[in-house]
Amino acid sequence: MLELRNVNASIGIIPILRDLTFRIGAAETVALIGRNGAGKTTLLRTIMGFTTASGEILFEGQPINALHPPKRPGLGIGYAPEDRRLFAAFTIEENILLPAQAARLGKAETTRRLDRAYTVLPELRDLAQRPGGTVSGGQGKMVALARALMLGTKLIMLDEPFQGLAPALAQRYAEALRTLRDTDRSITLIITESNPSLLRGFADRTLVIERGEVAEGSLEPEGTKA
């Protein structure tokens, strides 16, 4: 469902991604493992269109390189950046609703998707009216996931979601991701992480990224899922 062909990306004049080529199948959960600075965040930002990149990125067979970045979430891509980036001017629920409003979804569809987000993260209902700037780091990550779910009907990309989470919260977060996979069997997940042990047993496939290249792991989805 997502394919990268010879993708190079740089920030300023510094090359970050080098000739990346791999495919991710529908309903796969892929862990991108790498140290800080390996290029994980740049990879996700490149898929979202925020870097200067060459090569081809295909989403469901269609090239999206030239697609205006704000149009990409509308394809069904939800993205939760590492620094959770909630909008302080709005409440938690307003934060979660923003992507639906930007995409001009109808009322019924918006409610349906909000319910989906609350099914995965029921604890956010209690925080709904809190201002976006007042939640803890862990809660912020949950909100960022809920927000990504609003448009992420096909692909969810989470950048270091477990970074800095207290163990109990990390467990809760992983549980939420399991709920998501159980309730939506077709969802594709890409999760970056610097600690390889955290996603062991959770991801279908692990790609190790080093210095902007895939250093380890299969470049194709497993046969059953391709």
Binder of other proteins out of 35, 37, 54, 89 (CB under 8 A):
89
Least separation, in Å, of the C-beta of 218 and other proteins?
A: 28
Would you give the DSSP letter of residue 196? G
Q: Between 129 and 158, how does the x/- string for binding to other proteins read (CB under 8 A)? A: ------------------xx-xx-------
Supply the angle between the helices 107-120 and 137-151 in degrees, to the nearest 10: 140
* Distance (Å) of CA 110 to CA 20, 94, 117, 181: 36, 12, 11, 20
Q: Which span sits near other proteins by CB under 8 A: 26-34, 98-106, 164-172, 189-197?
A: 98-106
Q: What are 223's two structure tokens?
A: 């046969």
Binder of other proteins out of 35, 37, 87, 222 (CB under 8 A):
87
Question: Residue 68, interface with other proteins (CB under 8 A)?
Answer: yes
Cα dihedral 208, 4, 187, 172 sign: positive
Helical ranges in 133-217 per DSSP H: 137-151, 167-183
Least separation, in Å, of the C-beta of 23 and other proteins?
A: 23
162 three-class SS: coil
- β 155-158/188-193 pair status: parallel
Q: What are 106's two structure tokens?
A: 């109808």
Residues in the chain: 226
Binder of other proteins out of 15, 55, 74, 217 (CB under 8 A):
74
Q: What are 204's two structure tokens?
A: 């279908």
Q: Say which residues have a Cβ less than 8 Å from residue 214's Cβ, sequence separation at least 6.
A: 20, 21, 22, 207, 208
Binder of other proteins out of 6, 35, 52, 70 (CB under 8 A):
70
Question: Residue 101, interface with other proteins (CB under 8 A)?
Answer: yes
Question: Residue 202, interface with other proteins (CB under 8 A)?
Answer: no
Q: What are 2's two structure tokens?
A: 């997502």
Residue number with CB closer to other proteins (118 or 202) = 118
Residue number with CB closer to other proteins (71 or 200) = 71
Residue number with CB closer to other proteins (60 or 216) = 60
Q: Which span sits near other proteins by CB under 8 A: 29-37, 69-77, 160-168, 186-194?
A: 69-77
- Residues of the shown chain interacting with other proteins in the complex, contacts defined by CB under 8 A: 48-50, 68-74, 79, 81, 85, 87-90, 94, 98-99, 101-103, 147-148, 150-151
